[in-house]
Amino acid sequence: MKNLESNLEKIEQLAEERLSENLAFQTYLKTQNSLKIDEIVHRLYKEVESKIDCRDCGNCCQNLRPIASHKELRQFVAEEDIESVMYAESIKCMHHKNKVCTDYFNRPEECRLFPYLDQDNFISKTYSAIQNYRICPHVFNVVEGLKAELKWDYKNVKNTKK
Ligand code: SF4
Ligand code: SF4
Percent of the chain with pLDDT over 90: 60
Beta carbon of 72 within 6 Å of any ligand 1 atom: no
Tell me the sheet residues that pair with 91.
64
Q: What pLDDT does residue 2 have?
A: 79
Rounded mean pLDDT, 78-106: 85
Q: What is the mean pLDDT of the chain?
A: 90
- Determine which residue's CA is closest to atom 4 belonging to ligand 2: 60
Closest listed ligand to the CA of 52: 2
Beta carbon of 91 within 6 Å of any ligand 1 atom: no
SS3 of 101, please? strand
Cα(36)–Cα(20) distance, integer angstroms:
24
Residue 161 has pLDDT above 70, yes or no: no
| Structure confidence by residue, pLDDT tens digits, 18-71 | 999 999 999 999 999 999 999 999 999 999 999 999 988 999 998 887 776 788
Ligand 1 mean position to 125 CA, how many Å? 21
Ligand 2 mean position to 75 CA, how many Å? 18
Number of CB atoms found within 10 A of residue 80's CB: 7
Ligand 2 atom, smallest distance to 55 CA: 5
Q: What pLDDT does residue 6 have?
A: 96
Closest listed ligand to the CA of 94: 1
| Structure confidence by residue, pLDDT tens digits, 129-159 | 998 999 999 999 999 999 999 999 998 887 7
Beta carbon of 54 within 6 Å of any ligand 1 atom: no
Termini Cα distance of the chain: 32
Q: What pLDDT does residue 162 have?
A: 60
